[in-house]
Amino acid sequence: MTEETKKKIQLALAVAIVVVGARVGYIMYQRHEDYVTAEERQKARNTGYSNEDYYVTPKKLHPYDLKSAQQLTQQPVWVKEGYRYTYYRYVPVVKKVDFAHDQGTLEPLERLDIKDVLAVAAPGGRKQAVALFDKDGHEYAVPIGFESDDEYKFYADEMFYYEDPHQLYKHWPSDIWQAVDQHEVKPGMNELQADFAIGMGVPDPGANSEEKTVHYPNGGKPLVVTYQDGKATEIKAGG
């Protein structure tokens, strides 16, 4: 073995060690963040907060590469924020995503059965990690991460619930869940319940926990909801 070959092997091993170390560090960081969150919820419980939502701990998968992201195919997923994430047609014959023509946005609490997770070429030159699913007889892809510095950054944990939200928040009254399932907001709902019903919202600047006005695109049927002390008090059509 030549001296040059030895140097190349040593360099490759050093790079591999750095990559593995970075991934392990990222996973440990995510685990720490989950621990801190759980600890905060326990403090809230000990303090006696009456809002049981604080005690719900949604599952996370922490994908860090395409192989670990295959966990998304092992159970259904539910969309956390409706009308936020755009999906596109997937063309299996050429294994490409038609990023030039969006097909809509995922709906509030929409259930998806992810078939596969793969990397595809995206506008701008870098690869995009996408989750494939079927809807209305067609195959679609929704971005769940991207390639950066030879690694993948995933935001699937921010996009999806991996457990049925009806079970996670089973302490909600049946009339609340009925309104959520019908994509309706009614007085008395909290902001999370409204998000479940009509998707993502944008609060007015300067909003606070005591009084807040939130604008919801609501899939083309915009609503404006005013909250007092965390509860919806006024719902009206608007931009």
Residue 7, domain extent: 3-55
CA–CA gap between residue 197 and residue 200 (Å, rounded): 9
Does 60 fall in a domain?
no
| Last residue in a domain, options 108, 140, 161 | 161
What are the distances in angstroms from CA 50 to CA 42, 62, 144, 165? 13, 30, 34, 20
- One domain for residues 155 and 87: yes
Q: Does a structural domain hold residue 186? A: yes
Q: In whole angstroms, what is the distance from residue 75 CA to residue 161 CA?
A: 10
The pLDDT profile of the chain, 239 residues, written as one tens digit per residue, is 666 654 545 554 444 443 444 454 444 445 444 544 445 445 544 444 568 999 999 999 999 999 999 999 999 999 999 999 999 999 999 999 999 999 999 999 999 999 999 999 998 888 999 999 999 999 999 999 999 888 999 999 999 999 999 999 999 999 999 999 999 999 999 999 999 999 999 999 877 778 999 999 999 999 999 999 999 999 999 86
Query: Please, how many CA atoms are within 13 Å of residue 219, restricted to the half-sphere of its CB?
Result: 14
- Are residues 179 and 231 both part of a single domain? yes
Q: Does the residue 137 lie in any domain?
A: yes
Q: How many independent structural domains does the chain possess?
A: 3
| Cα 197 from Cα 215, distance rounded (Å) | 14
Structural domain includes residue 93:
yes
Residues 173 and 231 in one domain: yes
- Do residue 157 and residue 177 come from a single domain? no
- Shared domain check, 77 and 11: no
Closest among 79, 76, 68, 81 to 30, alpha carbons compared: 68
Q: What is the pLDDT of residue 91?
A: 95
